[in-house]
Amino acid sequence: MSNNNNTVPGSLAGIRVIDASRVLGGPFCGQILADHGADVIKIEPPMGDETRGWGPPFVGDAASYFIGVNRNKRDVCVDMTQAAGQELLLRMLEDADVFIENFKIGTLEKWGLGAEVLRERFPRLVHCRISGFGADGPYGSQPGYDAAVQAMSGLMSVNGEEGGKPLRMGVPIIDLVTGMNGVIGILLALQERNKSGLGQFVEATLYDSGVSMLHPQLPNFYLSGQVPQRSGNRHPNICPYDAFETRTTELFLAVGNNRQFATLCKVLGRAEIASDPRYTTNALRNQHRDELRDTLVALLADKDGLQLSQQLVAAGVPCGPVRTIDQVVDDPHTHHRGMIVDLDGYRGTGSPVKLSRTPASYRSKPPAFAQHTDEVLAELGIDAEAYAHVLPRKPVL
């Protein structure tokens, strides 16, 4: 069951985060921190976070895309293109531990609020910038978008059917991993601040994150000099590690060692295959993977995939049926692990990080536009009326 109990302070309770990011990487980073107890204040621009309109489906003024990465946050809208809005941001940062932003590189500098200025004014602040490529280098300051960076980083080149064209991953994997890398950087900086008393600048880029995920393709290339190619569901280093049709459902076999392979053959009623000279080691199985696949296809064709997967897992062979999203949501184990969150009419995806004493909690559903402006400014001792001209209460279209 999901943990909706907010009586236990999270591991980041007492940490205040100003999240001025939009779209996915930065907001996902902020939500992870919020789930674990940080007070995350989301600052939206006058037109709102563009993902509010990335639907259908919609609930109120927000699309599912926005709803998926903005829970547990309070929401303020500030027009930071105006001097008063920039002044207000500085006042909000006075009491903050972390600042997350993904402005176009050069924007903060144009406003006189670059990383150096913030470091001098707020020496304890951890400033996390999410960007496409970083500020310098051949691609420096270029905007980054998940699909484009999937292409540029090489991820698409190894994703797709053998002999087919490169394919984008079915989820915005680079945006999500960049958000996670942002969290890692922030937590490292906060840990170091405990010793030095100083914050620092943290950078997580889409490009770096994309390149970092090329395992084992990059190590393979470093050693062999051969450019990795697309191989469908096949693993480039392990065999058999692939999807197979059964009579009822597609089954993915992830056989990682000789013992598991021998067990697979035994469960399939052909124990002698494991001692075939072509298949006694992983290296040999890779050399003869086509013949081995043909043999397994024939053996699996009349099996009940779900029943066989349960039998194989019980015997110690990693595998699983290839399922659809609705089947995952309906699975009792998904709920048992707290991966479905239901809160006041909101349904979301739970935190995969489980802490025994200070677990994640789900305290508030994603905020409406500028919902907490008065509340947040009052807490900070800021007169909202004095800044009314830079505090839109409805999206400026």
Instruction: Tell me, yes or no, if 175 is annotated catalytic.
Output: yes
- What's the CA gap between 199 and 186, in Å, rounded? 10
Crossing angle for the helix pair 173-196 and 25-35, to the nearest 10 degrees: 50
Asked if residue 107 lies in contact with residue 74, where contact means CB atoms within 8 angstroms, the answer is: no
Type of residue at 135: A
User: Would strands 201-205 and 58-59 be described as parallel, antiparallel, or unpaired?
Assistant: unpaired
Long-range (24+ apart) CB contacts under 8 A made by 295-300 are 295/270, 296/240, 296/244, 296/253, 296/268, 297/244, 297/245, 299/268, 299/269, 299/270, 300/244, 300/245, 300/246, 300/251, 300/268
Are 199 and 46 a contacting pair, CB within 8 Å?
Answer: no
Q: What is the DSSP string of 166-179?
A: ----SS-HHHHHHH
Torsion over CA: 198, 203, 208, 213 (sign): positive
Cis peptide upstream of residue 216 (ω within 30 degrees of 0):
yes
Q: Tell me how far the alpha carbon of residue 10 is from its chain's centroid.
A: 20
Q: Strand, coil or helix: what is 275?
A: helix
Find the catalytic residue in 75, 175, 208, 242: 175
Residues marked as catalytic: 175
